Amino acid sequence: MIFNICAAIFGVSLLTATEGALSWLLVVLGIGFLIFVHELGHFLAAKYEKVRVEAFALGFGPAIISKRWGNTDYRINWIPLGGYVKMAGELPGEISGEDGLMSKTPGQRARILSAGVIMNGIFGIIGTILAFHIGIHFIVPTIGLVQQGSPAWQSGLERGDKVLEVNQEKISSFTDLFVAIAFSNEEKGVNLKIQRGNEVFDCLVQPKYNEARGIQTIGIAPHLLSELKAPKNSTAYQAGLRDGDTIKKIDNVEVEDGYDVEQLLASSQKKEIEITIDRKGQEKTILWSPPTRKTYRIGILSRQVKIDSVRQSTLVKGKAVVTQAKTLGFQAGDTLISIEEEKVFTRQEFKEKLEKISGKGNMYILRGGEELAISLNLTSIDSFVADFSFSADLYVGEVLQDYPAAEHLKAGDKLISANGLALHSFSDIFSAVQDAQSTPIEFVYLRGDQEYKATVQPKEIEIPIWGSLALTHALTPATSYGFKESCERGWNHTKNMVMQILLMLKGLASQQVSSKTLGGPITIFAASHSYLQLGLGRFIYFLALISINLAIVNLLPIPILDGGHLLFLAFEKITGRPVSENVMIWALYMGFLFLLFLIVYVTANDIERVFFGG
């Protein structure tokens, strides 16, 4: 239809054989093909019902190419964000003869309207079947990281656990796991079948709504390899690093996976690091200087000794075992003061001082304003430390030398205000420093019970952008299946796609899912390009997902979309008379304004996500 804007513009995002311009061209051609498939459905149905098609166009705006065959103008337009089929007599008030759209019965018009989504549905099924026949990579459903204090951490899940099933349903990728968790019942929780080494057991986890991500999560991330991606225009490539290199050491410290790499980089104060890599069985050491960005610092780190949560139990051979921290009576809200006579201001100090006394001695905490002593006799220091999740507060945990704060502040000081504005969290301090840049800031702070003031001028520094070192996720083998199994897997995955999209729409309506998860053209093109790097099978699979999106979203009862027009036809069939011209025009305008708002909104999401890390 003339106003049938491709759902790829505002698709619901659930989210290397070629490089550079060629791969981007393939992405554009792939997305363009989905639009073509959709509009071809309308076109063929219109021809079948003997409706005159005045124009068949891909894209909007002025035509790049235009050719007239018979009574139809075929066009490729400049703006590749949709497409349309213009039929005679389809607009309100438009006069046409017996070959016009409005001369046909409601049933005939419904067939024409629904043909686009049917074609996209057919491509979705064929695409997934073809993807499995070619061979397709998925991110393995193995837990690579468990966030401290998260539901997964509380339930005893560990790094390296492989998830086999979610609520008695087998899964094949981390995406399946993520989606199942996102739409699980928060009260009932999600039951995971876990493989840990040679053991297989069940684990019940209670998901929580994640404000930042706008969806339910349990606080896990997929397995991240220490294998590199080094694009030719990157500083990593210029330093001598290459695709497929596996990092073995950072500054001579051994790493096991990508998260070890990220942690070492994040804690490094250097502008140049030594990376030991394995390249096809040979070790090589390379010096790398990452790109930098300007920022401001006063040189303090937060104290992190206030207990945010205490893990109640861990899983040993599939059985819940009460943790040492729980047995000793530690509670959320406790603040660590000292171990024996030595003050504790950071998590690292906590572990170091426990090792110094071999896990045996007195530990002092603050609970409800009262100082308490807890006697320790630990069987494992590492597991004991892992049983605590700490939160940052307004107390100074460490003061860095050669920074402005070293002249005034010391560990244990509590910051109260900056330039007269009250501070509520450590992030407020960071924001105040970035806002001030090189302008002096007057801090009010407490040292013991005494209040002091200090004027500190932030220091301008260049910090490394460690995130420019790209790592890869662990992937399943790209197994090529026979025709029968490809059909079975393709059909099952298509059904799962439909359910996921419907659940996403339901989640948006119920506010279980934030609208910030919606992706627009930038996200879709970027995701398409990323999936292309995982091979042709994965790229076709992603196109099939977008095609199913296009089919379902176009069926929504929004005037201007196919679903809105089908709603008007249902009214006509029931009442025996069409919707009045005035109502039709008003509805189309409202539908157009809604879609325009949606396009602007999701594009803003794209910009925030891609350029600002939102």
So which residues are the catalytic ones? 39
Provide the residue count of the chain.
614
**How far apart are the C-alpha atoms of 252 and 273, rounded to whole Å?**
10
Is residue 299 left, alpha or beta, with left meaning phi > 0 and alpha meaning psi from -120 to 50? Answer: left
Question: What is the C-alpha to C-alpha distance for residues 320 and 323, in angstroms, rounded to an integer?
Answer: 9
Residue burial 457-474, b: 16+ Cβ < 10 Å; e: rest: ebbeeeebeeeebebbbb
SS3 of 34-74: the string is HHHHHHHHHHHHHHHCCCCEEEEEEEEEEEEEEEEECCEEE
Is residue 324 exposed (0-12), middle (13-18) or buried (19+ Cβ within 10 Å)? buried
Q: How far apart are CA 111 and CA 49, in angstroms?
A: 9
Asked if 315 and 396 count as a contact pair (C-beta separation under 8 A), the reply is: no
Write the secondary structure of 115-163 as one string of H (helix), E (strand) and C (coil): HHHHHHHHHHHHHHHHHHHHCCCCECCEEEEECCCCHHHHCCCCCCCEE
Contact 574, 61 (CB under 8 A): no
- 369-382 burial, b at 16+ Cβ within 10 Å, e below that, comes to eeeeeeebebeebe
